[in-house]
Structure 1
Amino acid sequence: MLILHDAFDGCTRLDQFQQSLSISTSMLTARLRTLVADGLLERRPYQTNPVRHAYVLTARGRSLRPVIVALAAWGNRPLAPEDRSMILVDTTTGEEVEPVVVDARTGKRLDDSEAYAFTAGPAASEGMRGRYEEWGRA
């Protein structure tokens, strides 16, 4: 997740990720390889001699931005304002924003656990369907 967060902040090169994350080259390379294999990052050459690659977010990777934003906001919630290492701001005004997850159809916030629940989808296994039936959400 931290690699993706850095990619959203504009990191693309191995040295940029390494400086930000302070992890070993072998660990970082393995994680980047996994993110590429999962279709979240694309590896593109940016230098030929020696060959070096940039790691760029794919459309699938960019679609995770709301998740990363929500996780960062959740992590900041228990902290005093002076203890937060980063905050989300409106790039036009510079004002801090508070991200929320809403239903695109109704605009209602989804943080009410009494009003919203998961149920089995079309590809649910029999075990999952059974659990949801047991919980009255089939």
Structure 2
Amino acid sequence: MTKIETFGFGVPWESLFGYSQALRAGDTLYVSGQLSHNAEGTFLGEGDFGLQMATTFANLDLVLEHYGATRAQVVETTILVRNLREHFGSLAPFHAQYFGEHRPTSTVMGVSDLALPEQLIEVGAVVRLDVATP
């Protein structure tokens, strides 16, 4: 039987909504949609897509770090963006730079709304911890 392990930042909406930031099942890590917040759960970057994008991916890094994983072990990203046409031009090169030579699968979707009114981006991921890293 596969053991399940969960991880959370301890921000208020984890218990309010009843979810984990990440769930490990065997060698697969499922990362919930990350967003732009600090360690206390304060939203960062209202109206600033670049800051929200950078902070969101930095929070993904924190989840990866907790599990001893690297970006090269991310096999899939799911990215939700408000006003996708407006922001795709900055998102695409940022995503490519974030992963470097590694090319995970990715789905990018434009959405009309996200959980927080000021939120412009959310990034989820699937990570394989058994993938060898360079």
Name the TM-score, length of structure 1 as normaliser. Answer: 0.24
More strand by share: 2
Name the TM-score, length of structure 2 as normaliser. Answer: 0.24
More helix by share: 1
Q: Which has the higher contact order (CA 8 A, sep 6+)?
A: 2
